[in-house]
Amino acid sequence: MRYITHNDINISSDSTHYQGKVDVSYGLLCILFGQPFSGDAYKVDAEWVIEFEDGTIATIYNYKNGINYLGVDGTPTTQISSWHIGGFVVRAAELINQLVEDRNRVAAIQGHVLLDEEVYDVN
C-alpha cells in the first residue's frame, strides 16, 4: 500500500472529520509518516496528513488530551498512544489501522527494522 504524507507535498485535509481511532506510539507514527504538524495550538498537539494511492485522505491527531488543551495536566505528545483518525470516509481509518498492524513490513520497505518500537536504519 503506497502513500504520501504532508512531508512530501501539501495535502488538503479541510473538512475531514473523525472516522475512527488507532492505538499506536508517537514514535511509530513518526517512523511511518515522518514528523507531524504541530496541530492547531488548541485542541491538537500533533497531526499527520496521509494520502493513499487510491486517493483516500487520512489524518491522525490527538484530541483534547495534550498539553495544548490541558496545560500541565495534558499528556506530552511523545507519550500519547491513542490517536483519532480523520478523513472523508471510514476507509481512512481502515487503511491507517491496516498499516499499523503491518508495521514491520512497511518499515522494512522504508529501509528500517523495528525492534520493540525502536528503529534501526538498515541502509
Predicted local confidence at residue 81, as pLDDT: 95
Predicted local confidence at residue 122, as pLDDT: 39
Q: Which residue has the higher pLDDT, 102 or 24?
A: 24
Does 121 score more than 50 pLDDT?
no
Residue partners of 92: CB distance under 8 A and separation at least 6? 16, 19, 20, 56, 57, 58, 59, 85, 86
Residue pLDDT, tens place only, 74-88: 999 999 999 999 999
Q: Which of 26, 12, 22 is nearest to 95 (CA)?
A: 22
The pTM of this model reads 0.85
The ranges assigned to domains in the chain are 3-113
Residue pLDDT, tens place only, 36-68: 999 899 999 999 999 999 999 999 999 999 999
